[in-house]
Amino acid sequence: MAVPRPEIGIIGGSGLYRFDGLARLREVEIDTPYGHPSDAIVTGELSGRALAFLPRHGRGHRLSPTEVPVRANIWALKSLGVRRVTSVSAVGSLREHIRPLDFIVPDQLIDRTRARPSTFFGDGIVAHVGFADPFCPALSSRIETSLSRAGARVHGRGTYVVMEGPAFSTRAESLLYRNLGASVIGMTALPEAKLAREAELCYAVMAAVTDYDCWHPTEEAVSVETVVANLERNVASARKAVYELATGDEPFGPCDCANALRGAIITAPERIPPARRKELALLIDKYL
């Protein structure tokens, strides 16, 4: 029997490489115009709701933040019928009151990445999507509620700085980001958020705070050891929240994510190379 089209997609970050408890489990290998995703996508049902799960760094954590094939990942989820993507990720806190083992659902981003393709467009077709508010407000609000119900301490907004990595920041950078007003720092919310917007998917981040980066005068600077130890402690809350989110009955609030490309394609339709038009059909057919 075919698995129903999953509406909810989960991208698991550090510490969340598998998703237990799914019925009618299937592993789907998907090829995209941008190559293969990080791993096979696992689809299945949770209390009768279909969902798709993809470990961002691959099982066994083989891909660095720079190496994650984000275009393939977002494309693959879209092609399965996913409409809402929850990204689970580990972040460092840049604020005293955002403590390790808390969660944050950020509402803003600062891009400090520099080596990652961040658009599906180009090569003869140009699109400029609005990105003033980079996360879906409806999905963010549901993630926040789900985390609270899972018993987590959750911060409902904040600015997430995305750095290239893979080394952690210098102390000067950490202090700079604090001066910019940022709340947390991580390596993966971009280009995921931009590509999800271009793919007209709702996208929001469930970020697990694992450390105080390296700005804090009395706390130890971040290390893989601290990150992993704290992730193990709060991955249970993250799982509970994801279950809650996937099976919850409340309707999602309104958002405009599904129309993000309306008016965004600036290239004259007759000038779009036919091969690109065909390649991007999944995203642009409804507008051409």
Instruction: List the catalytic residues.
Output: 211, 213
Kind and range of the H or E run holding 70: helix 70-79
Cβ nearer to Zn ion, comparing 113 with 140: 140
Cβ nearer to Zn ion, comparing 184 with 255: 255
Is the Cβ–Cβ distance between 7 and 48 less than 8 Å? no
Does the protein bind Zn ion through residue 136 (CB under 5 A)? Answer: yes
Q: Which of 104, 202, 206, 231 binds Zn ion (CB under 5 A)?
A: 202
Cβ nearer to Zn ion, comparing 263 with 273: 263
Smallest gap, in angstroms, from Cβ of residue 49 to Zn ion?
18
Cβ nearer to Zn ion, comparing 69 with 134: 134
- Return the closest-CA partner of residue 205 out of 116, 140, 254: 140
Does the protein bind Zn ion through residue 189 (CB under 5 A)? Answer: no
Q: For residue 219, count other CB atoms closer than 10 A to its CB.
A: 16
Smallest gap, in angstroms, from Cβ of residue 260 to Zn ion?
9
Binding mask 219-258 for Zn ion (x = CB under 5 A): ------------------------------------x-x-
Smallest gap, in angstroms, from Cβ of residue 38 to Zn ion?
23
Q: How many whole angstroms separate alpha carbon 30 and alpha carbon 27?
A: 10
Size of the site for Zn ion (CB under 5 A): 4
Cβ nearer to Zn ion, comparing 196 with 214: 196
Q: For residue 130, count other CB atoms closer than 10 A to its CB.
A: 12
Strands 103-104 and 49-55: unpaired
Q: How many whole angstroms separate alpha carbon 142 and alpha carbon 122?
A: 34
Smallest gap, in angstroms, from Cβ of residue 258 to Zn ion?
7
Which range binds Zn ion by CB under 5 A, 130-138, 175-183, 234-242, 268-276?
A: 130-138
3-state secondary structure at position 241: helix
Smallest gap, in angstroms, from Cβ of residue 60 to Zn ion?
32
Report DSSP letters for 174-234, one per residue. HHHHHHTT--EEES-HHHHHHHHHHTT-EEEEEEEEEE-TTT-SSSPPP-HHHHHHHHHHH
Which range binds Zn ion by CB under 5 A, 42-50, 131-139, 151-159, 215-223?
A: 131-139
User: Which residues in this chain contact Zn ion in the complex, by CB under 5 A?
Assistant: 136, 202, 255, 257
